[in-house]
Structure 1
């Protein structure tokens, strides 16, 4: 089967999480750079990675890479790439661009030159002077970084965070890809209770349920490369069939989402229903300071107000103090908090076991991780039949 070079783009700070996901799908020779994870695979990786990657932004097909400090170099080397191997005669092929620390800094000029070069390349194969561009979409990107041009085609379409379940959202929503990353970074296990006391529109609980039941995040959406004639339809059909075969719909989970706003909880319930995991999540109206649990071991993963986007900064600090008091009572639990407040630990009253810098959109945030004790292992001669 044809080999391809793929790039899974990633939010800054999540590259290692995306790389681990790619490796877990069985792909080797994975390399990591700022904002991207690169790997080689066969053609079936385009459907598989689009369907399964939870934390990547999109999957790009790499066509070529070269140094270019002049427009002539950019044109000639782009023209020399095998565009007709991928792009059919009737394709629609717009060009996007970006340039960072490069001699060729004018993005519109670079886009225009790449477009012209691709047209000239396709002319040689299809023996025509004009392309109607009425067919499937092949969105090309020219990315210049320190005078190195990377030419790719987007295989995803709408970003991978668009799972298809979140028709309704609340204020300051957390992207689905980021929510999934927070859960994967926590090393949460599906046999442990998970609580989000600021669940909003339900993104963290829903992503946890998808992970807990091994449901592919892209199972219920479409991808732009599904319309590409170069990828056999059976590859998409087989990849989608595998998502159903591997899903563990019978696994019972204990996931709880609480919020003080009943209106936003209605949105959360609707989103969970759209995702097909509403029977695995209990949403409840509750103030954070009412949080209690009889469970000995559990996880709290949450995205509380930062004070920058919602509400008042001082109000957020008072909330963090209250969180510290409430969470302290759950002294055998592990809890994970994402916030942009640089003095969160001071108000929370405890130093994190680990802190990780991330970006929520364009906002720099820290992921504060507080590790609780590990639960004792069950005795081998006494099998444990309980899931929670």
Structure 2
């Protein structure tokens, strides 16, 4: 069986490792492609739903090579028509569908051109097999057909996880205006190396995504979430309750710049999503916030403890962290909300 997963660009390796660990098989990916390719003998769909790092999963029905010129679409149309003989098993006259195309590389044609061709072929094949045309529904389709084109590589799969991305966990009763995707929260916890029995703190927890993901990941960790806005803390508690981890996370109203007043060299991991300067508006204010925050986290961490943050202010953070005495353990670029922040892991 061949599968294709969509993930946040920048965490393909983390998703690949989780997929292999949970489902077995062989995986491959290209960094910042937002996709992981997976070959496995057999797989439980329930196990796919338990993955914490993926957005969607697709069973691969067709893969080929495609040229970059518009005329190459003629050959693609012929190959698709002869290959999609079983598409009516997935898309019937009684299920609506939509085609979602992602394209990376330089091509004369557009993603819409490919989606149009794929949609036309699917309608013809289903009508040929059943005598009835399936319905196209671009807003709320029953089935999503995902096409991924990267340079000359062409993949087509049918969604195994419905139209809803798995990063939408379902526990977000309260939606923080600058909420972090749970898939990225999982990636940050993984990169930080959090474990059971350790103290894990998010001092700018907002709606509680990072503490909740930590509680879902670790049965016996000591997890704390703070925010200086009481409304966010109330929302975080609601989300924790909806996720089933209420009571496993201690939430409280507190200023992240004074974290050391609660924890004096007691924390194993601080994992957080501080405000981005791009969204904060005032570069002077954001730098002061980061400076005070970094000072306080250094005092709060145990020797060897780690601070993991996602930020667009990474140059300032790295310079300040080096001055304070942090050691840079890891850094990488990811895509989040149309921006390309870095996840930075610092060690005391």
TM-score normalised by the chain length of structure 2: 0.87
| CA pair 103-198 structure 1, distance change in 2 beyond 3 A | closer
Q: How many residues align?
A: 329
| CA pair 258-138 structure 1, distance change in 2 beyond 3 A | same
| CA pair 101-297 structure 1, distance change in 2 beyond 3 A | closer
Whether contact under 8 Å (2:272, 2:310) holds in the other structure is yes
Whether 2:341 is the aligned partner of 1:338: answer no
Aligned to 2:19: 22
Note the 1:63-212 alignment, pairs <5 A.
63-69=61-67, 70-80=72-82, 81-82=84-85, 83-103=87-107, 105-126=109-130, 128-131=131-134, 137-156=142-161, 157-212=163-218
Question: What are the Cα deviations for residues 17-50 of structure 1, in whole angstroms up to 9, with x where unaligned?
Answer: 001101111412211223211112356433311x
Whether contact under 8 Å (2:98, 2:141) holds in the other structure is no
Whether contact under 8 Å (1:172, 1:310) holds in the other structure is no
Whether 2:260 is the aligned partner of 1:260: answer no
Question: What are the Cα deviations for residues 69-88 of structure 1, in whole angstroms up to 9, with x where unaligned?
Answer: 42321221111223134333
Question: What are the Cα deviations for residues 243-288 of structure 1, in whole angstroms up to 9, with x where unaligned?
Answer: xxxxxxxxx4311111111111111111111111110111111112
Look up the SS of the partner of 2:340 in the other structure.
strand
Aligned to 1:12: 9
Look up the SS of the partner of 1:182 in the other structure.
helix
| CA pair 90-171 structure 1, distance change in 2 beyond 3 A | closer
Note the 1:247-326 alignment, pairs <5 A.
252-291=220-259, 292-293=262-263, 296-326=266-296
Between Structure 1 and Structure 2, the one with more strand by share is 2
Cα deviation for residue 104 of structure 1 reads 5.0
Q: Matches of 1:133 and 1:109 in 2, distance apart?
A: 16
| CA pair 297-285 structure 1, distance change in 2 beyond 3 A | closer
Cα deviation for residue 207 of structure 1 reads 0.5
Q: Matches of 1:142 and 1:258 in 2, distance apart?
A: 41
Cα deviation for residue 317 of structure 1 reads 0.7
Whether contact under 8 Å (1:104, 1:147) holds in the other structure is no
Cα deviation for residue 132 of structure 1 reads 5.3
| CA pair 303-103 structure 1, distance change in 2 beyond 3 A | closer
Q: Structure 1 unaligned segments of length 5 or more: list them.
A: 214-251, 373-388
| CA pair 255-133 structure 1, distance change in 2 beyond 3 A | same
Q: Matches of 1:262 and 1:309 in 2, distance apart?
A: 21
Aligned to 2:320: 347
Aligned to 1:357: 333
Question: What are the Cα deviations for residues 100-131 of structure 1, in whole angstroms up to 9, with x where unaligned?
Answer: 335451333322221221222223322x1534
Could you say what the CA RMSD is over the residues aligned between the two structures, in angstroms? 2.3
Question: What are the Cα deviations for residues 304-343 of structure 1, in whole angstroms up to 9, with x where unaligned?
Answer: 1122113522111111211232123235232212211122
| CA pair 353-114 structure 1, distance change in 2 beyond 3 A | closer
Q: Matches of 2:235 and 2:250 in 1, distance apart?
A: 13
Question: What are the Cα deviations for residues 186-240 of structure 1, in whole angstroms up to 9, with x where unaligned?
Answer: 1101210111111111110000000013xxxxxxxxxxxxxxxxxxxxxxxxxxx
Whether contact under 8 Å (1:255, 1:282) holds in the other structure is yes
| CA pair 319-71 structure 1, distance change in 2 beyond 3 A | same
| CA pair 169-311 structure 1, distance change in 2 beyond 3 A | farther
Q: Matches of 2:245 and 2:7 in 1, distance apart?
A: 26
| CA pair 190-72 structure 1, distance change in 2 beyond 3 A | same
Aligned to 1:245: none
Q: Matches of 1:336 and 1:101 in 2, distance apart?
A: 32
